Amino acid sequence: RAPRKSTIQRLWKKSRFEFLIWGTILLFWLLISLTRIGIEPDDRFWNVAGVPILPQQLILSGLLLLLLLDLSHRYSVKWGKHLAKPASAYLLIGVIWLGTFMFWQGTELKHTYFAPDPYAPNYARYPFSDARAFDIGGQAFLQGFGLNNNITTDRPFLMTFTALLHAIGGQGYDQYIKIQVAILALIPALLFVLGWKYHSKTAGLGIALLMILQQGNAIRASAEIGLVNAKVLMSELPTALLLIAITIYLLQWLEKRDSLLSPLITGGLLGLAVGVRGNTLVLIPVVLAIVLVKYLLDSTDIKRWVQTSGVFILGLAVVLGPYSIRSYQQDGTVFWLSKIQDVIQRSELEGNEGDNGGARLPKLVNPERVFSDQSGEPGLLSYALNHFMHNEINSVLIYPLDWHATPLASAVEHPVWDYDQDWQGQLTNGEKVTLGINLLVISFGIGFAFRRHGLAGIVPLLFHLAYNLSNALSRTSGGRYLVPVEWVVIVYYLLGVISIYFVLRTWQPSQKPDHSQTSGILVLDVTVLTGIVLLGISFMFSDLIPVRFPDDSQSARIALLEDYGQDWIEQSGLRTEDLRSFITSDRAVLQIGLVLYPRFYPGGEIPIRSSHVPVMPHDQNRVTFVIMEKDSVDYVHLGLGSGRVSQFPHAAYGLLLGCQKEDYIDGIVFIPMTEAAPEIVEQADLALSCEIP
């Protein structure tokens, strides 16, 4: 009787390919440690690791996964017929979606940069910085002003998304963000489908569970590490949702090369992704290359590749075409091309102001800047490689570096999540071992997917590498920039756990799951395609919304001021002729618009900086807000001296009289135009003058 082989021998014999992948990755890590590429901080947009998965979460999820694997293997014959039914998949998808929604919605959102804690005067939460800019674009849509007030944006479908949230959920942050959470809860559900395609429904459940837990951590840790999550209005998670859907339909395209519906939907989804986050443009050639290689490997007629690729391009054009035409008519360039030009031709500002300071890249058109110049300023190749490796490193660091159970607040105290310490690769010996184990598991997942599915098995990996390369070329890495493809590391980690377990149990993987009964349902595909097309032309729907004050002439505004502000005019002792004379003077402004995001600041308090919010005086108590009318969006500063306001309108119309400064309006009086008639707010020392002191 031959001696029984050890566990290591069994792993080595059956998994040499996976160990080769692991060895290659370890060589890269050795190269990183020697050259410091990816860990030597750049002074532009260099961020922390992705949201961590806690050791106890990973262990408990793994134990549950292994239990399900044992049960499914033991009772595969008995349960197989039931689990093979399409209804079981739909039921699991529904349960995952509902469980995700309830868990994420029930997790409290703490203070975070893009959605600060509720503040005075209304003690409500409003979006801030980039999230506020996206929200303003959607608010303009709902007022009939046109998407983003008819100003060309590189995120048209993201702003359409925010408009949809408000149309359904209203203006209360907790209400409309609940709609977003419900939509983003599809992410784990789609990951279940992806895991099922690659291995089994059990694998899909494990992948979905880890994604649910990680994003729950993102919400809970929002105050500590400030990354995006399902409860802030940012582009990263909607992009992740679209990329997962694109992956599923691309796999379906590769499985059914005679189908034209799958490439059409793949192109349409990718078009939506481009209109949510421009980095996804890089995936267009990646998709075409993947399909070409697959067709060549399978000896498929190259004419068929040309045909299906043409349909894919058609899907892109159907979605991107309408807004591209609109943006060309307005600005002489298409919106997605202007995004590329913006990245390449950014001005050469000095210094580092972080994500919120508008730091710019050197011009890449100068060949001397491909490499570092004599002054040490990095060129394209040096900083892109540095940021690319930083993205890859931080993607892996979502997994524990030790196996001691720890609360989330303690876990994020590790230097990899400390913006101030600028972690530069320091790890203890124990952490290095744990990191090596994590890389081994991921390597087994990649190897398993490739062995079983060929090129289709590494589609998520190729998406991950290409997307992170686009981030690197934009000189961004880490933090929220990882989120659109962070799910890829979760997929391969779970596949790796399953692969190792199967080898140890000497099990043979079951046959590839048959999705012919579910993935090709014509009604579902046609519904998805219809929704994609409608989203592509959605910006036009704003033209059907009547504008509340269509007559924006100066005389009409003055008439409304005298109507709504009659009591204020009388109490202030102003003469009508003096008021009219001031309104028509230089730099005086009278606006009728939608008021958004009011905030009261006590004297001396300096607001958080954002490139989207102008710097305004802070020497006295004041209320700041945004006022939007057709073709203009302005920030307003209204000085109160030592006074205060108890409440202030939000998402309601009002009249503003003030003086135009360089990048904001210095308010004199604000008069609400609501039936509730809240208090009129005027500056501390009322003076109808815009003269510079």
What whole-number distance in Å separates Cα of residue 438 and Cα of residue 426?
17
Residues in the chain: 693
Q: Distances from the Cα of 601 to the Cαs of 123, 624, 662, in angstroms?
A: 12, 8, 21
The stretch 375-399 carries a mean pLDDT of: 83
Q: Phi, psi (5° rounding) for residue 122?
A: -90, -10
Q: Hey, is 268 helix, strand or coil?
A: helix
Residue % of the chain over a pLDDT of 70: 86
pLDDT at residue 391 tops 90: yes
The predicted structure's pLDDT at residue 280: 94
- Does the bond joining 121 to the residue before it have cis omega, within 30 degrees of 0? yes
The stretch 592-612 carries a mean pLDDT of: 91
What whole-number distance in Å separates Cα of residue 693 and Cα of residue 503?
80
What whole-number distance in Å separates Cα of residue 597 and Cα of residue 624?
8
Q: What is the pLDDT of residues 258-274, one digit of tens each?
A: 678 999 999 999 999 99
What whole-number distance in Å separates Cα of residue 192 and Cα of residue 491?
10
632: enclosing H helix or E strand: strand 632-641
The stretch 369-389 carries a mean pLDDT of: 70
More confident residue, 42 or 392: 392
Q: What is the pLDDT of residues 552-592, one digit of tens each?
A: 888 899 999 888 888 888 888 888 888 888 898 888 999 99
Closest CA to 277 of 476, 434, 427: 476
The stretch 534-540 carries a mean pLDDT of: 89
The predicted structure's pLDDT at residue 35: 87
What whole-number distance in Å separates Cα of residue 610 and Cα of residue 130?
8
Closest CA to 483 of 280, 275, 320: 280
- Cα 583 to chain centroid, rounded: 43
Residue environment code for 554-569, b if the CB has 16+ CB neighbours within 10 A, otherwise e: eeebbebbeebbeebb
The predicted structure's pLDDT at residue 348: 39
The stretch 69-92 carries a mean pLDDT of: 66
The predicted structure's pLDDT at residue 83: 54
If one counts every other C-beta atom within 10 angstroms of the C-beta of residue 575, the result is 10
| Contact (CB, 8 A) for 516 and 84 | no
Q: What is the pLDDT of residues 205-241, one digit of tens each?
A: 999 999 999 999 999 998 888 779 999 999 999 999 9
- Residue spans of alpha helices (H) in 365-508: 380-396, 408-411, 429-453, 459-473, 483-504
Closest CA to 100 of 269, 251, 248, 237: 237
| Contact (CB, 8 A) for 664 and 635 | yes
| Contact (CB, 8 A) for 639 and 620 | yes
Residue environment code for 321-352, b if the CB has 16+ CB neighbours within 10 A, otherwise e: ebbbebbeeeeeebbbebbeeebeebeeeeee
The predicted structure's pLDDT at residue 585: 87
The predicted structure's pLDDT at residue 525: 80
| Residue with tokens 């049960």, as numbered in its chain | 71
Closest CA to 251 of 463, 547, 555: 463
What whole-number distance in Å separates Cα of residue 127 and Cα of residue 139?
12
pLDDT at residue 71 tops 60: yes
The predicted structure's pLDDT at residue 570: 83
Q: Hey, is 681 helix, strand or coil?
A: strand
More confident residue, 334 or 419: 334
pLDDT at residue 510 tops 80: no
Closest CA to 112 of 650, 482, 608: 608
The pTM for the full model equals 0.91
Angle of helix 302-331 relative to helix 283-297, nearest 10 degrees?
170
In 3-state terms, the chain is what percent helix, strand and coil (to 5)? 60, 10, 35
The stretch 624-650 carries a mean pLDDT of: 93
What whole-number distance in Å separates Cα of residue 216 and Cα of residue 209?
11
Residue % of the chain over a pLDDT of 90: 51
Closest CA to 670 of 613, 678, 136, 586: 678
| Residue with tokens 């370890």, as numbered in its chain | 26
Q: Hey, is 430 helix, strand or coil?
A: helix
Task: Enumerate helices (H) and strands (E) in the chain, giving the number of each.
Answer: 25, 6
The stretch 14-41 carries a mean pLDDT of: 87
More confident residue, 175 or 527: 175
| Contact (CB, 8 A) for 207 and 490 | yes
Q: 304: pLDDT confidence band, cut at 50, 70 and 90?
A: confident
The predicted structure's pLDDT at residue 79: 53
Structure tokens, 35: 């050259």
The stretch 242-271 carries a mean pLDDT of: 91
Q: What is the pLDDT of residues 429-460, one digit of tens each?
A: 999 999 999 999 999 999 999 999 999 999 99
Q: Distances from the Cα of 88 to the Cαs of 68, 80, 196, in angstroms?
A: 15, 11, 12
The predicted structure's pLDDT at residue 302: 83
Structure tokens, 542: 């704003």
pLDDT at residue 182 tops 60: yes
Residue 148 Rama label (left phi>0; alpha psi -120 to 50; beta): left
Mean pLDDT across the chain: 86
Look at 273-282, 438-447, 534-543 and tell me which has the smallest mean pLDDT.
534-543
Q: Hey, is 45 helix, strand or coil?
A: coil
The predicted structure's pLDDT at residue 34: 86
CB proximity list for 58: less than 8 A, separation 6 or greater: 210, 399, 400
More confident residue, 537 or 15: 537
pLDDT at residue 351 tops 50: no
HEC string for 273-292: HHCCCHHHHHHHHHHHHHHH
Residue environment code for 354-381, b if the CB has 16+ CB neighbours within 10 A, otherwise e: ebeeebbbbebeeeebeeeeeeeebbbe
pLDDT at residue 104 tops 80: yes
The predicted structure's pLDDT at residue 353: 42
